[in-house]
């Protein structure tokens, strides 16, 4: 009799626990909204600049409905929301993920362009860490190479030109730092780097670089190299004030 009572108790407890689990499962399902609801809420949040809400709803859609028809759009819109919010590290990551997940999508040029723009936006100041600008340039160049007829490739050219100017200036000012400290060899090395990396891009800093490079070798007592770079300056940039 005691064994029967004990068995009934165990069955009752087990049944109650099963009901609890069942109830929990129903609650979890109730917390997951239909995909159209997530998408609609995310788009609305984007329009009213509630970027935090948009991120939350786009992520919920992507995580819960990976095969949904609008999930691909949601993945790229997630990058857009981060970009508009000024979270450029996150936007670059989202666009890169999109390219990896959908390499044949018609939106890949768009994603690559704004991945590059995310890096571009992070750092524009001379004298600071230029790694983001170098990353932006690399992606812009890759975009142009893979999709030469895309409108985003055409937009990329002007940014590459601007980046070259900023990077060349940054390298030049590093050389100028050594020059002002009378560390002539290090200064000459940095000025040569400017010529090597950006000489063919026609950046404005080149005449000034040639002038200071000639001055470095003058201070080093190397008249041959001094004359070489001064002649180069006068030949290629005769109208420059540095050629006077």
Question: How high is the pLDDT of residue 129?
Answer: 75
Does residue 109 contact residue 143 with C-beta atoms inside 8 Å?
yes
Tell me the mean pLDDT per 10 residues along the chain, length 244: 38 37 45 92 95 95 93 96 95 97 96 97 67 95 97 96 94 96 97 95 94 97 97 94 89
Record the pTM: 0.80
Question: How high is the pLDDT of residue 92?
Answer: 97
Per the listing, tokens 């990976």 go with: 66
Domain boundaries, the chain: 29-85
CA 134 to chain CA centroid, nearest Å: 10
- 208-242 burial by CB neighbour count: b if 16+ within 10 A, else e? bbbbbbbbbbbeeeeeebbeebbebbeeebeebeb
Question: How high is the pLDDT of residue 168?
Answer: 95
Strand blocks (E) in 15-101: none
Q: What are phi and psi of 220, to 5 degrees?
A: -85, -5
Question: How high is the pLDDT of residue 3?
Answer: 40
Question: How high is the pLDDT of residue 29?
Answer: 54
Q: Look at residue 113 and give its three-state secondary structure.
A: helix
Question: How high is the pLDDT of residue 28?
Answer: 46
């Amino acid at each position: 009799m005691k064994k029967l009572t004990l068995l009934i108790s165990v069955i009752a407890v087990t049944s109650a626990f099963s009901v609890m689990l069942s109830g929990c499962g129903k609650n979890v399902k109730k917390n997951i909204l239909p995909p159209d609801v997530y998408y609609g809420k995310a788009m609305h949040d984007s329009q009213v600049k509630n970027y935090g809400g948009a991120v939350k709803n786009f992520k919920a859609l992507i995580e819960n409905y990976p095969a949904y028809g609008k999930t691909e759009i949601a993945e790229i819109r997630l990058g857009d929301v981060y970009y508009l919010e000024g979270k450029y590290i996150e936007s670059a990551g989202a666009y890169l993920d999109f390219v990896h997940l959908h390499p044949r999508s018609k939106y890949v040029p768009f994603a690559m362009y704004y991945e590059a723009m995310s890096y571009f936006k992070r750092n524009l100041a001379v004298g600071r860490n230029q790694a983001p600008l170098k990353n932006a340039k690399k992606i812009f160049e890759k975009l142009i190479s893979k999709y030469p007829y895309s409108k985003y490739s055409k937009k990329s050219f002007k940014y590459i030109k601007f980046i070259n100017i900023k990077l060349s200036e940054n390298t030049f000012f590093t050389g100028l730092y050594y020059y002002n400290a009378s560390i002539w060899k290090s200064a000459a090395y940095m000025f040569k780097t400017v010529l090597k990396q950006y000489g063919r891009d026609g950046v404005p800093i080149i005449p000034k670089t040639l002038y200071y490079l000639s001055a470095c070798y003058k201070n080093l007592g190397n008249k041959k190299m001094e004359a070489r770079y001064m002649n180069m300056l006068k030949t290629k940039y005769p109208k420059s004030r540095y050629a006077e």
